[in-house]
A and B are shown apart, each in its own frame.
Chain A
Amino acid sequence: ETGVTQTPRHLVMGMTNKKSLKCEQHLGHNAMYWYKQSAKKPLELMFVYNFKEQTENNSVPSRFSPECPNSSHLFLHLHTLQPEDSALYLCASSQDYGGPVYGYTFGSGTRLTVV
């Protein structure tokens, strides 16, 4: 399988639940990202991992906890979320040589609904 794969595609969870989103890339890319897309808002960067090391945390609340066990896998652990956290969560990867000429490769996203 090629590209960036995200599971699950859809997730409904209660505010007291704990769940995890998974992202997998088979492109040999060095960097992986979590973005959040809320309605009528731009895509917002959440976290960046470069060669498995977290390099950016864009002031994301601690109820979102990322994990990158290796350069092909990225997780987003969720606990005690709020209804306003309902959004499309997108994973992306990139391999940049001298500039983001070819941009990111995105997964299809996980549509999260917090009830």
Chain B
Amino acid sequence: DQQVKQNSPSLSVQEGRISILNCDYTNSMFDYFLWYKKYPAEGPTFLISISSIKDKNEDGRFTVFLNKSAKHLSLHIVPSQPGDSAVYFCAASLPMNSGYSTLTFGKGTMLLVSP
């Protein structure tokens, strides 16, 4: 059973508007949540993370919101740009084990930002 779910396989947004990507999780033991971005023929690249003790983290155009009671997080991109078109993966981490962490990923949401 999937512990991290991204229920929208794709999302289309116009340039300049807000993109909202959603992610749900089932394991209440997850203590860190991360978003990755992936272009075709490249590996995923880290975008932003949030600790489970926070409800918001912001980095430039990217903001991640965490609602622990709903086991839901979202990534907001504003304003969206055509270069943001990529697949976005949500990931969650359990508490660290001896200096490393293992991430559980969702299936990803393909974002298309049109000019």
Tell yes or no: A45 within 8 A of B by CB.
yes
Q: Mark B25-42, 1 if CB is under 8 A from A, else 0.
A: 000000110101000011
Please tell me which stretch of A12-20, A74-82, A95-103 contacts chain B, meaning at least 4 of its Cβ atoms lie within 8 angstroms of it: A95-103
Are the CB atoms of A103 and B51 closer together than 8 Å? no
Tell yes or no: B103 within 8 A of A by CB.
yes
Q: How many residues of A contact B (CB 8 A)?
A: 32
Tell yes or no: A108 within 8 A of B by CB.
yes
Q: How many residues of B contact A (CB 8 A)?
A: 30
Residues of A within 8 A of B103 (CB): 43, 45, 100, 103-104
A residues 74-115 touching B (CB-CB < 8 Å): 90, 92, 94, 96, 98-109
Are the CB atoms of B46 and A55 closer together than 8 Å? no
Are the CB atoms of A4 and B91 closer together than 8 Å? no
A99 interface neighbour in B32, B44, B106, Cβ under 8 Å: B32
In the bound complex, CA of A81 to CA of B96 (Å): 33
Return A33 CB to nearest CB of chain B, in Å.
8
A31 interface neighbour in B36, B45, B91, B99, Cβ under 8 Å: B99
Residues of A within 8 A of B99 (CB): 30-31, 50-51, 96
Are the CB atoms of A50 and B51 closer together than 8 Å? no
Q: Mark A14-35, 1 if CB is under 8 A from B, else 0.
A: 0000000000000000110101
User: A40-B107, A42-B2 known; A48 and B43 CB under 8 Å?
Assistant: no
Interface residues of chain B, those whose CB is within 8 Å of chain A, are 2, 4, 31-32, 34, 36, 41-46, 49, 51, 89, 91, 93, 96-108
Can you pick out 27 interface pairs between chain A and chain B where the beta carbons lie within 8 Å of each other? A30-B100, A31-B99, A40-B107, A42-B105, A42-B108, A43-B44, A43-B105, A45-B103, A48-B100, A48-B102, A90-B43, A90-B44, A98-B96, A99-B93, A99-B101, A100-B34, A100-B93, A100-B101, A101-B32, A103-B46, A103-B91, A103-B103, A105-B46, A106-B36, A106-B43, A107-B43, A108-B42
